[in-house]
Structure 1
Amino acid sequence: MKKIYFLSVLVFFLSVGLFAQDQKWSVEANYPISVGDELGNDTPAILDIGLKYRFLNLNKVKIGASINTGYFRQNHNYSVNEESFDFTETHWLIQPKLFAEFTIPSIQKLHPSVGLGYTFTESKNKGIAFNEPSELTRSPGGLSFNLGLSYDVTKRFFLQVQCDYTRSTGTVEGEGYTENIKDNLGFVKVGVGFRF
Protein backbone atom coordinates (compact mmCIF):
# COMPACT_ATOMS: atom_id res chain seq x y z
CA MET A 1 0.00 0.00 0.00
CA LYS A 2 2.83 2.40 0.86
CA LYS A 3 4.45 1.75 -2.52
CA ILE A 4 1.21 2.60 -4.36
CA TYR A 5 0.79 5.78 -2.29
CA PHE A 6 4.41 6.85 -2.92
CA LEU A 7 4.11 6.11 -6.65
CA SER A 8 0.84 8.09 -6.89
CA VAL A 9 2.39 11.11 -5.19
CA LEU A 10 5.49 10.89 -7.41
CA VAL A 11 3.41 10.68 -10.61
CA PHE A 12 1.30 13.67 -9.48
CA PHE A 13 4.32 15.89 -8.82
CA LEU A 14 6.06 14.86 -12.03
CA SER A 15 2.97 15.55 -14.15
CA VAL A 16 2.39 18.91 -12.47
CA GLY A 17 6.06 19.76 -12.97
CA LEU A 18 5.93 18.92 -16.68
CA PHE A 19 2.78 20.87 -17.48
CA ALA A 20 3.05 23.91 -15.18
CA GLN A 21 5.49 26.45 -16.59
CA ASP A 22 4.82 29.61 -14.56
CA GLN A 23 5.66 28.12 -11.13
CA LYS A 24 3.15 30.21 -9.20
CA TRP A 25 2.55 27.42 -6.69
CA SER A 26 4.84 25.65 -4.25
CA VAL A 27 4.48 23.02 -1.53
CA GLU A 28 6.88 22.64 1.37
CA ALA A 29 7.65 20.38 4.31
CA ASN A 30 9.49 21.77 7.33
CA TYR A 31 10.69 20.74 10.75
CA PRO A 32 9.90 23.53 13.26
CA ILE A 33 12.17 24.10 16.26
CA SER A 34 10.72 26.15 19.13
CA VAL A 35 12.91 29.13 20.09
CA GLY A 36 10.34 31.27 21.95
CA ASP A 37 8.05 30.63 24.89
CA GLU A 38 7.24 26.98 25.42
CA LEU A 39 4.32 25.60 23.45
CA GLY A 40 2.51 23.90 26.33
CA ASN A 41 5.08 21.73 28.10
CA ASP A 42 7.71 22.43 25.41
CA THR A 43 6.08 19.86 23.14
CA PRO A 44 8.30 18.72 20.25
CA ALA A 45 7.29 19.21 16.63
CA ILE A 46 6.25 16.43 14.31
CA LEU A 47 5.92 18.30 10.99
CA ASP A 48 4.98 21.61 9.37
CA ILE A 49 3.57 21.61 5.82
CA GLY A 50 2.75 24.59 3.64
CA LEU A 51 1.25 25.74 0.37
CA LYS A 52 2.16 29.03 -1.39
CA TYR A 53 0.62 30.87 -4.33
CA ARG A 54 2.39 33.81 -5.98
CA PHE A 55 -0.29 36.02 -7.56
CA LEU A 56 1.77 39.10 -8.51
CA ASN A 57 5.17 39.11 -10.25
CA LEU A 58 7.03 42.45 -10.19
CA ASN A 59 10.27 41.05 -11.68
CA LYS A 60 12.51 41.19 -8.59
CA VAL A 61 9.62 40.78 -6.11
CA LYS A 62 6.81 38.22 -6.09
CA ILE A 63 3.78 38.84 -3.86
CA GLY A 64 1.70 35.90 -2.68
CA ALA A 65 -0.41 34.17 -0.06
CA SER A 66 0.40 31.03 1.87
CA ILE A 67 -0.85 28.74 4.58
CA ASN A 68 1.15 26.48 6.88
CA THR A 69 -0.04 23.83 9.31
CA GLY A 70 2.18 22.59 12.13
CA TYR A 71 1.60 19.54 14.32
CA PHE A 72 3.16 19.06 17.78
CA ARG A 73 2.55 16.05 20.06
CA GLN A 74 3.97 14.51 23.21
CA ASN A 75 2.93 11.85 25.73
CA HIS A 76 3.65 12.65 29.40
CA ASN A 77 3.87 9.99 32.12
CA TYR A 78 5.41 10.90 35.49
CA SER A 79 4.67 11.25 39.21
CA VAL A 80 5.34 14.10 41.64
CA ASN A 81 4.71 13.67 45.40
CA GLU A 82 2.31 10.75 44.89
CA GLU A 83 0.41 12.72 42.21
CA SER A 84 0.42 10.90 38.87
CA PHE A 85 0.30 12.50 35.44
CA ASP A 86 -0.36 10.50 32.30
CA PHE A 87 -1.70 12.60 29.43
CA THR A 88 -1.23 13.38 25.76
CA GLU A 89 -0.54 16.94 24.67
CA THR A 90 -1.27 18.00 21.08
CA HIS A 91 -1.00 21.36 19.33
CA TRP A 92 -2.13 22.34 15.83
CA LEU A 93 -0.89 25.64 14.38
CA ILE A 94 -2.58 27.11 11.30
CA GLN A 95 -0.74 30.08 9.82
CA PRO A 96 -2.20 31.98 6.83
CA LYS A 97 -0.10 34.92 5.63
CA LEU A 98 0.76 37.31 2.82
CA PHE A 99 4.39 37.32 1.74
CA ALA A 100 6.92 39.03 -0.53
CA GLU A 101 9.67 36.90 -2.09
CA PHE A 102 12.72 38.66 -3.52
CA THR A 103 15.23 37.73 -6.23
CA ILE A 104 18.80 38.94 -5.82
CA PRO A 105 20.19 39.78 -9.31
CA SER A 106 23.76 38.72 -8.47
CA ILE A 107 22.64 35.48 -6.72
CA GLN A 108 19.66 34.18 -8.75
CA LYS A 109 19.27 30.98 -6.69
CA LEU A 110 18.83 32.79 -3.34
CA HIS A 111 15.37 34.16 -2.41
CA PRO A 112 14.84 36.11 0.84
CA SER A 113 11.22 36.61 1.91
CA VAL A 114 9.15 38.45 4.48
CA GLY A 115 5.59 37.64 5.57
CA LEU A 116 2.80 38.95 7.77
CA GLY A 117 -0.16 36.87 8.91
CA TYR A 118 -2.01 35.32 11.82
CA THR A 119 -1.45 32.14 13.83
CA PHE A 120 -4.40 30.08 15.05
CA THR A 121 -3.57 27.47 17.69
CA GLU A 122 -5.66 24.51 18.86
CA SER A 123 -4.18 22.87 21.95
CA LYS A 124 -5.45 19.95 23.99
CA ASN A 125 -4.20 17.99 27.00
CA LYS A 126 -6.18 14.84 27.71
CA GLY A 127 -5.56 12.07 30.23
CA ILE A 128 -4.80 11.85 33.97
CA ALA A 129 -3.58 14.84 36.02
CA PHE A 130 -3.32 14.87 39.83
CA ASN A 131 -4.67 11.27 39.81
CA GLU A 132 -7.93 12.44 38.16
CA PRO A 133 -9.21 12.34 34.57
CA SER A 134 -8.53 15.74 33.06
CA GLU A 135 -8.94 17.61 29.81
CA LEU A 136 -7.61 21.11 29.07
CA THR A 137 -8.22 22.99 25.83
CA ARG A 138 -7.08 26.34 24.56
CA SER A 139 -7.32 28.21 21.28
CA PRO A 140 -4.96 31.19 21.41
CA GLY A 141 -3.93 33.20 18.39
CA GLY A 142 -2.12 36.32 17.32
CA LEU A 143 -0.38 38.28 14.60
CA SER A 144 2.68 36.59 13.17
CA PHE A 145 5.77 37.84 11.39
CA ASN A 146 7.93 35.66 9.12
CA LEU A 147 11.43 35.97 7.66
CA GLY A 148 12.66 33.33 5.24
CA LEU A 149 15.47 32.37 2.91
CA SER A 150 15.28 29.74 0.18
CA TYR A 151 17.94 28.32 -2.11
CA ASP A 152 17.12 26.75 -5.49
CA VAL A 153 18.72 23.32 -5.80
CA THR A 154 17.07 22.91 -9.23
CA LYS A 155 14.46 24.94 -11.09
CA ARG A 156 11.71 23.21 -9.10
CA PHE A 157 13.26 21.97 -5.83
CA PHE A 158 14.52 24.27 -3.09
CA LEU A 159 15.86 24.23 0.46
CA GLN A 160 14.66 26.80 2.96
CA VAL A 161 14.91 28.18 6.47
CA GLN A 162 12.27 30.41 8.07
CA CYS A 163 11.86 32.26 11.35
CA ASP A 164 8.31 32.81 12.67
CA TYR A 165 7.35 35.06 15.58
CA THR A 166 3.81 35.21 17.01
CA ARG A 167 2.48 37.23 19.93
CA SER A 168 -0.23 34.80 21.04
CA THR A 169 -3.07 35.57 23.46
CA GLY A 170 -5.98 33.43 24.62
CA THR A 171 -7.47 31.49 27.50
CA VAL A 172 -6.95 28.05 29.03
CA GLU A 173 -10.19 26.35 29.99
CA GLY A 174 -10.17 23.45 32.40
CA GLU A 175 -12.58 21.82 34.79
CA GLY A 176 -13.68 24.68 37.04
CA TYR A 177 -11.29 27.43 35.95
CA THR A 178 -10.30 29.78 33.13
CA GLU A 179 -6.89 31.47 32.81
CA ASN A 180 -5.74 34.20 30.40
CA ILE A 181 -2.42 33.51 28.69
CA LYS A 182 0.09 35.54 26.66
CA ASP A 183 2.95 33.83 24.83
CA ASN A 184 5.76 34.94 22.54
CA LEU A 185 5.98 31.95 20.21
CA GLY A 186 9.03 31.63 18.01
CA PHE A 187 9.97 28.89 15.55
CA VAL A 188 12.88 28.22 13.24
CA LYS A 189 11.67 26.02 10.37
CA VAL A 190 14.11 24.07 8.22
CA GLY A 191 12.75 22.27 5.17
CA VAL A 192 12.40 21.53 1.50
CA GLY A 193 9.96 22.63 -1.17
CA PHE A 194 8.76 22.01 -4.71
CA ARG A 195 7.56 24.68 -7.19
CA PHE A 196 4.96 23.93 -9.86
Structure 2
Amino acid sequence: MKKNYFLTVLAFFLSAGLFSQDYKWSVEANYPISVGDEIGNDAPGLLDFGIKYRFLDLKIVKIGAGINAGVFKKNISDDFKPVFTDFDETNWLIQPKVFAEFTIPGIQKLHPSVGLGYTFIESKFEGESFNLGSFDNTESSGGINLNVGLSYDITKRFFLQAQYDYIREKDTYNYEGQDLKVKRNLGYLKFGVGFRF
Protein backbone atom coordinates (compact mmCIF):
# COMPACT_ATOMS: atom_id res chain seq x y z
CA MET A 1 0.00 0.00 0.00
CA LYS A 2 2.77 2.46 0.97
CA LYS A 3 4.72 1.56 -2.16
CA ASN A 4 1.71 2.32 -4.40
CA TYR A 5 1.09 5.63 -2.62
CA PHE A 6 4.73 6.66 -3.04
CA LEU A 7 4.73 5.73 -6.74
CA THR A 8 1.48 7.66 -7.35
CA VAL A 9 2.83 10.81 -5.67
CA LEU A 10 6.13 10.52 -7.55
CA ALA A 11 4.32 10.04 -10.88
CA PHE A 12 2.20 13.14 -10.20
CA PHE A 13 5.22 15.35 -9.49
CA LEU A 14 7.13 14.01 -12.49
CA SER A 15 4.22 14.51 -14.91
CA ALA A 16 3.53 18.01 -13.55
CA GLY A 17 7.17 18.88 -13.99
CA LEU A 18 7.35 17.76 -17.60
CA PHE A 19 5.34 20.82 -18.64
CA SER A 20 7.39 23.25 -16.55
CA GLN A 21 10.36 25.06 -18.07
CA ASP A 22 11.96 26.56 -14.95
CA TYR A 23 12.72 23.23 -13.19
CA LYS A 24 12.03 24.27 -9.61
CA TRP A 25 11.81 20.66 -8.37
CA SER A 26 14.36 17.86 -8.42
CA VAL A 27 14.53 14.29 -7.15
CA GLU A 28 17.72 12.37 -6.45
CA ALA A 29 18.96 8.92 -5.58
CA ASN A 30 22.33 8.50 -3.87
CA TYR A 31 24.62 5.84 -2.48
CA PRO A 32 25.75 6.92 1.03
CA ILE A 33 29.13 5.98 2.54
CA SER A 34 29.94 6.59 6.23
CA VAL A 35 33.26 8.44 6.72
CA GLY A 36 32.88 9.75 10.29
CA ASP A 37 32.10 8.35 13.72
CA GLU A 38 29.95 5.24 13.82
CA ILE A 39 26.23 4.99 14.54
CA GLY A 40 25.75 1.72 16.43
CA ASN A 41 27.79 -0.96 14.67
CA ASP A 42 28.62 1.17 11.60
CA ALA A 43 25.95 -0.32 9.35
CA PRO A 44 26.70 0.25 5.64
CA GLY A 45 24.50 2.54 3.56
CA LEU A 46 21.90 1.06 1.22
CA LEU A 47 20.21 4.06 -0.41
CA ASP A 48 19.45 7.75 0.06
CA PHE A 49 16.51 9.50 -1.65
CA GLY A 50 15.93 13.24 -1.78
CA ILE A 51 13.59 15.89 -3.12
CA LYS A 52 14.32 19.63 -3.45
CA TYR A 53 12.27 22.72 -4.27
CA ARG A 54 13.93 25.98 -5.39
CA PHE A 55 11.67 28.87 -4.37
CA LEU A 56 13.97 31.86 -5.06
CA ASP A 57 16.03 32.40 -8.23
CA LEU A 58 18.64 35.17 -8.03
CA LYS A 59 20.32 34.10 -11.31
CA ILE A 60 23.73 33.24 -9.85
CA VAL A 61 22.23 31.53 -6.79
CA LYS A 62 19.00 29.60 -6.21
CA ILE A 63 17.62 29.25 -2.68
CA GLY A 64 15.49 26.27 -1.77
CA ALA A 65 14.43 23.62 0.72
CA GLY A 66 14.73 19.88 0.56
CA ILE A 67 14.60 16.63 2.46
CA ASN A 68 16.61 13.42 2.21
CA ALA A 69 15.94 10.00 3.72
CA GLY A 70 18.67 7.38 3.93
CA VAL A 71 18.79 3.83 5.24
CA PHE A 72 21.77 1.93 6.67
CA LYS A 73 21.43 -1.76 7.54
CA LYS A 74 23.60 -4.54 8.92
CA ASN A 75 23.17 -8.03 10.34
CA ILE A 76 25.34 -8.69 13.38
CA SER A 77 25.87 -12.42 13.65
CA ASP A 78 28.43 -13.85 16.08
CA ASP A 79 30.65 -10.77 15.77
CA PHE A 80 30.99 -10.88 19.55
CA LYS A 81 32.22 -14.49 19.93
CA PRO A 82 32.18 -16.57 22.09
CA VAL A 83 28.76 -15.10 23.03
CA PHE A 84 25.94 -15.99 20.61
CA THR A 85 24.55 -12.90 18.90
CA ASP A 86 22.25 -12.55 15.89
CA PHE A 87 20.39 -9.28 15.28
CA ASP A 88 19.58 -6.74 12.56
CA GLU A 89 20.48 -3.09 12.96
CA THR A 90 18.68 -0.51 10.81
CA ASN A 91 19.42 3.22 10.93
CA TRP A 92 17.12 5.76 9.22
CA LEU A 93 18.38 9.30 8.62
CA ILE A 94 15.77 11.98 7.84
CA GLN A 95 17.41 15.26 6.78
CA PRO A 96 15.34 18.41 6.14
CA LYS A 97 17.42 21.43 5.06
CA VAL A 98 17.59 24.78 3.33
CA PHE A 99 20.20 25.18 0.63
CA ALA A 100 21.84 27.58 -1.82
CA GLU A 101 22.76 26.28 -5.29
CA PHE A 102 25.21 28.34 -7.34
CA THR A 103 25.75 28.76 -11.09
CA ILE A 104 29.32 29.58 -12.07
CA PRO A 105 29.53 32.06 -14.98
CA GLY A 106 31.33 30.36 -17.85
CA ILE A 107 30.76 26.87 -16.42
CA GLN A 108 26.97 26.61 -16.64
CA LYS A 109 26.84 22.81 -16.14
CA LEU A 110 28.62 22.83 -12.77
CA HIS A 111 26.61 23.73 -9.63
CA PRO A 112 28.23 23.90 -6.17
CA SER A 113 25.82 24.03 -3.23
CA VAL A 114 25.74 24.49 0.53
CA GLY A 115 22.98 23.51 2.91
CA LEU A 116 22.05 23.73 6.58
CA GLY A 117 19.52 21.56 8.35
CA TYR A 118 18.89 18.97 11.03
CA THR A 119 19.26 15.19 10.91
CA PHE A 120 16.83 12.92 12.77
CA ILE A 121 18.29 9.45 13.40
CA GLU A 122 16.06 6.49 14.21
CA SER A 123 17.90 3.23 15.03
CA LYS A 124 16.23 -0.16 15.43
CA PHE A 125 17.90 -3.27 16.88
CA GLU A 126 15.98 -6.53 16.51
CA GLY A 127 17.15 -10.08 17.17
CA GLU A 128 18.54 -12.19 19.97
CA SER A 129 21.66 -12.70 22.02
CA PHE A 130 22.89 -15.15 24.64
CA ASN A 131 22.54 -12.82 27.62
CA LEU A 132 19.49 -10.74 26.53
CA GLY A 133 17.33 -13.31 24.77
CA SER A 134 15.03 -11.82 22.12
CA PHE A 135 14.92 -8.03 21.92
CA ASP A 136 13.41 -5.25 19.81
CA ASN A 137 14.82 -1.82 20.72
CA THR A 138 14.48 1.59 19.06
CA GLU A 139 16.66 4.64 19.76
CA SER A 140 16.28 8.20 18.51
CA SER A 141 18.87 10.95 18.28
CA GLY A 142 19.82 13.82 15.99
CA GLY A 143 21.94 16.85 15.34
CA ILE A 144 22.74 19.89 13.22
CA ASN A 145 23.62 19.02 9.60
CA LEU A 146 25.97 20.94 7.28
CA ASN A 147 25.90 19.88 3.61
CA VAL A 148 28.22 20.77 0.72
CA GLY A 149 27.76 19.40 -2.76
CA LEU A 150 28.62 19.59 -6.43
CA SER A 151 26.38 18.62 -9.34
CA TYR A 152 27.13 18.34 -13.04
CA ASP A 153 24.40 18.63 -15.69
CA ILE A 154 24.32 15.77 -18.19
CA THR A 155 21.26 17.37 -19.86
CA LYS A 156 18.93 20.18 -18.74
CA ARG A 157 17.02 17.65 -16.63
CA PHE A 158 19.50 14.92 -15.64
CA PHE A 159 22.56 15.48 -13.45
CA LEU A 160 25.26 13.65 -11.52
CA GLN A 161 26.17 14.75 -8.02
CA ALA A 162 28.50 14.25 -5.09
CA GLN A 163 27.89 15.68 -1.64
CA TYR A 164 29.17 15.53 1.91
CA ASP A 165 27.04 15.70 5.07
CA TYR A 166 28.60 16.60 8.42
CA ILE A 167 26.31 15.89 11.38
CA ARG A 168 27.03 16.91 14.97
CA GLU A 169 24.93 14.25 16.72
CA LYS A 170 23.98 14.67 20.38
CA ASP A 171 22.40 11.93 22.43
CA THR A 172 21.75 11.06 26.07
CA TYR A 173 21.96 7.50 27.42
CA ASN A 174 20.81 6.26 30.80
CA TYR A 175 23.48 3.99 32.26
CA GLU A 176 22.93 2.58 35.76
CA GLY A 177 20.71 5.51 36.74
CA GLN A 178 22.98 8.22 35.33
CA ASP A 179 22.35 10.24 32.17
CA LEU A 180 25.43 10.21 29.97
CA LYS A 181 25.72 12.75 27.15
CA VAL A 182 27.37 11.55 23.97
CA LYS A 183 28.48 13.69 21.01
CA ARG A 184 29.53 12.23 17.68
CA ASN A 185 30.91 13.74 14.48
CA LEU A 186 29.13 11.82 11.74
CA GLY A 187 30.13 12.19 8.11
CA TYR A 188 28.56 10.81 4.95
CA LEU A 189 29.70 10.96 1.34
CA LYS A 190 26.87 10.56 -1.17
CA PHE A 191 27.23 9.87 -4.89
CA GLY A 192 24.16 9.82 -7.10
CA VAL A 193 21.97 10.97 -9.93
CA GLY A 194 19.10 13.43 -10.11
CA PHE A 195 16.26 14.62 -12.29
CA ARG A 196 14.87 18.18 -12.49
CA PHE A 197 11.24 18.95 -13.29
TM-score by length of 2: 0.87
Match in the other structure for 1:137 = 138
Aligned to 1:52: 52
Task: Measure the CA separation in 1 of the matches of 2:18 and 2:127.
Answer: 49
* SS of residue matched to 2:18: helix
Shift in Å, 1:138? 1.6
Q: Secondary structure at the match of 2:84?
A: strand
Contact persistence 1:52–1:65 (CA under 8 A): yes
Partner of 2:31: 31
Between 144-153 and 120-129, report the one with greater CA deviation: 120-129
Instruction: Report which stretch shifted further, 153-162 or 76-85.
Output: 76-85
Unmatched segments (≥5 aa) in structure 2? 1-6
Classify the secondary structure of the residue corresponding to 2:15: helix
CA distance in 2, matches of 1:177, 1:137: 20
Provide the residue aligned with 1:128 in structure 2.
Answer: 128
Shift of 1:10: 10
Paired with 1:90 and 1:139, the residues of 2 have a C-alpha distance of 12
Aligned mates of 1:62, 1:10 — CA distance in 2 = 23
Where does 1:158-173 land on structure 2 (aligned, <5 Å)?
A: 158-172=159-173
- Deviations 1:115-139 (CA, angstroms, capped at 9, x unpaired): 0000000001111134432333221
Counterpart for residue 3 of structure 1: none
**Distance in structure 2 (CA, Å) of the matches to 1:124 and 1:173:** 17
The alignment partner of 1:139 has SS state of strand
Change (3 A) 1:29 1:80: closer
In 2, Cα distance between the equivalents of 1:126 and 1:101?
Answer: 40
Partner of residue 3, structure 2: none
Establish whether residue 61 from structure 1 lines up as the match of residue 61 from structure 2.
yes
Contact 2:17 2:25 in 1 (8 A): no
Please say if residues 134 and 175 of structure 1, whose CA atoms lie closer than 8 Å, have aligned partners that are also in contact: no
Report the Cα distance in structure 2 between the residues aligned to 1:79 and 1:35, rounded to whole angstroms: 21
Q: 2:84 corresponds to which residue?
A: 84
Structure 1 regions of 5+ residues with no counterpart? 1-6
Contact 1:121–1:139 (8 Å) recurs in 2: yes
C-alpha deviations, 1:95-134, integer Å up to 9, x for none?
0000000000110000000000000000011111344323
* Cα separation, 1, equivalents of 2:181 and 2:130: 22
Q: Does the residue aligned with 1:15 lie in a helix, a strand or coil?
A: helix
Give the superposition deviation at 1:25.
0.3
| Aligned residue number for residue 101 of structure 1 | 101
1:40 is matched with which residue? 40
Q: Secondary structure at the match of 2:77?
A: strand
Q: Identity over the aligned pairs, expressed in percent?
A: 64
Partner of 1:119: 119
1:148 aligned residue: 149
Letter in 1 for 2:41: N
SS of corresponding position for 1:107: coil
**Number of residues of Structure 1 aligned to a counterpart in Structure 2:** 192
Counterpart in 2 of 1:184?
A: 185
Contact 1:161 1:189 in 2 (8 A): yes
> What is the TM-score when the length of structure 1 is the normalising length?
0.88
Letter in structure 1 aligned against 2:166: Y
23 and 168 in structure 1: CA distance in 2 versus 1, 3 angstrom threshold: same
